[in-house]
Amino acid sequence: MFDFKKYDQQQKNNFVLRVIVAALFALCCFVLLSLRFWVLQVERYEGLSARADSNRLAVVPIAPRRGEIVDRNGEVLARNYLSYTLEVVPAHAGNIDELFDALTPVVFISASEQRRFRRRMAESGKYASLVLRNNLNETEAAFFSANALRFAGVQLRARWVREYPQGKSAGHVVGYVGRISEADLAMLEERGETGSYRGTDVIGKKGIEKTYETALHGRPGLEELEVTSRGKPVRVLRRVDPTPGSNLVLSLDMGLQRIAEEAFKDLRGALVAIEPATGDVLAFVSQPSFDPNLFIDGIDVESWRLLNESPDHPLINRPVYGTYPIGSTYKPFVALAALELNKRRATDLISDPGYFEFGGQRFRNSGSTAFGTLDMHRALVVSSDTYFYSLGPEIGVNNLHDFMKPFGFGQLTGIDIEGERRGVLPSTEWKRNAYKTREQQRWYAGETISIAVGQGYNAFTLMQLAQATAVLANDGVYMKPHLVRAIKNPRTDEQTLTVASAEHKIPLKKENLQVVKRALAEVTVSGTAAGAFSGAQYTTAGKTGTAQIYSLRGANYQSSSIDERLRDHSLFMAFAPVSDPKIAIAVIVENAGWGGSVAAPIVRKVFDAWLLRDKKTVPAPVRQTNATVPDTTGSPVTSRVTP
């Protein structure tokens, strides 16, 4: 017989057991859940909180305003203006072709801009914010803002854009900024400065923009934004303002700069004007020049081709990069070396029959002109090659090297612009290092003869000649040449001078300096530069020069029969006023011929502009004629002689 009572008890027991098991299971789940909550809320709180904040918060870098560049009078050479840009994150924008099709009716995107964007996308990847269109006007910006929700991954931003209001004028000095390249990123990473360029897409590429990049750039700021799940900003939680870059005050005078540039007209060449007492570079000309505005957002192919393939090489910074034989502008320094080293007295008389004979070979004056008996003063005034040919063996190449080095010849002057070349100041040691075979390494006495008249192995930058002229005018005091006069704090306007004292002083005897200076003063009165300085209202001292491009091998020089780019260079170095020099200049005009007829008149115009700027009187007109005394600096002889 079935026992209902016993069965009922068993059912109750089973039910209790199930309840207990279920309770234990629920308790275990609750414990596990509690443990998980503990892990998430306590042990992993910081990491998960940061991840949550990263979804809710966005940190946006704020690019600093780049410092401005002005001349000594406050005239602006480089500045910034706010511009709207359209930026795209390819990973968020979807199909790029479809984006362009949809976007073009709203904001016009040219075919070249589309190609440029695709190239940048290939270089930078899909998650970088890339500029699609620059310089949107206010109407375009407003129209896009009204349609912004239609375009995922596309943002309208305001940014600082660089501008060079002077255009080509002083283009090589100012340089330009350009888009940060892979090489730039590698350089910044090596320096540990990558963080300073968050939000910035340009960097100094040439000129002062590159040399003073650290001062001009400033430090970026940031905005901490609260955003939606789709990345749309809701509110600003925190803001750190960027620190603007320092402003630069150049030593240049743009009025003088423009006058110097205009004096070249269509000629090629370079000019550097320096204030001897301070080392301030007052004018720095490289002709032809270029417009740095072309490079700001990437130069177009046609403009780059015209600049890069031009036979006039407008991209070369001639004053610091071009190296030249400087012809007879070297003679004043050779004369000073002879006096200081006691190799010859100023009153010693030397016969000049029109040539100097050495080792069975004759080194001739230009046109074989014979000046008769002359001393050092007259030799400089008429530019007698024979006189200085004879000085070469007496002084010796190594003595010349050691004497010229403190003036800056064959040395880096230290001017604050990138790309300066050292050039060649010859010596026996230099030749041993420059050539491989023993025969080539041998120094011949005849080679010193050519060097003494500024030819031969001599290869100097115009910056070196200008600096040496300033040191001579300043009685041997070497002030480091500089283009940036002061760095100006943008908030306090406090200025810090870049050069405050002399770098060194060459111990020169006053009486020897006076011998050379008196002769150089006579050059502009009755010598090879007399025509250019006729009627000047100030005293000047200078030396003409004509430098050979290649050896004529004994033939007569006829400019009309020689290719224009193989003709002699025209040079002139000078300072004024003689008693208290305020300006020293060196100029070279490429393939232009005699220094007295081409280079010297350019210097006259610059001197008039600088020294007569406070006077109302009109300077006397310059007679563009050759002086009565012929310029003999371009003697048609072999520049390297091997006995």
Contacts of 69 (CB under 8 A, 6+ apart): 76, 77, 78, 79, 174, 208, 209, 216, 247, 248, 250
CA dihedral 77, 79, 83, 89 (to 10 degrees): 100
Report how far residue 103's alpha carbon sits from residue 97's, in angstroms, rounded to the nearest whole number.
10
Cis peptide before 314 (omega within 30 of 0): no
Q: What is the dihedral of CA 603, 604, 610, 614, to 10 degrees?
A: 180
The three-state (H, E, C) secondary structure of 592-604, written as one string: CCCHHHHHHHHHH
Cβ atoms of 546 and 600 within 8 Å: the answer is: no
Q: Is the peptide bond before 288 cis (omega within 30 degrees of 0)?
A: yes
Query: How many CB atoms within 10 Å of residue 469?
Result: 31
Instruction: Give the active site residue among 251, 328, 384, 390.
Output: 328
Rg (CA), the chain: 36
47 contact partners, CB below 8 Å, separation of at least 6 = none
Tell me the CA end-to-end span of the chain in Å, nearest whole number: 146
Is residue 328 part of the annotated active site? The answer reads yes
Q: Are strands 247-250 and 69-70 parallel, antiparallel or unpaired?
A: parallel
> In residues, how long is the chain?
643
- Cα–Cα dist 590/571, whole Å: 9
Distance between CA 184 and CA 196 in Å, rounded? 13
Closest CA to 175 of 116, 216, 140: 216
- The continuous run of DSSP H or E covering 264 comes out as helix 254-264
Structure tokens at 385: 């090659």
> Read out DSSP for 305-374?
HHHHS-TT-TTS-HHHH-EE--GGGGHHHHHHHHHHTTS--TT--EEESSEEEETTEEEEPGGG---EEE
Q: Are 542 and 575 in contact (CB under 8 A)?
A: yes
Catalytic site positions: 328
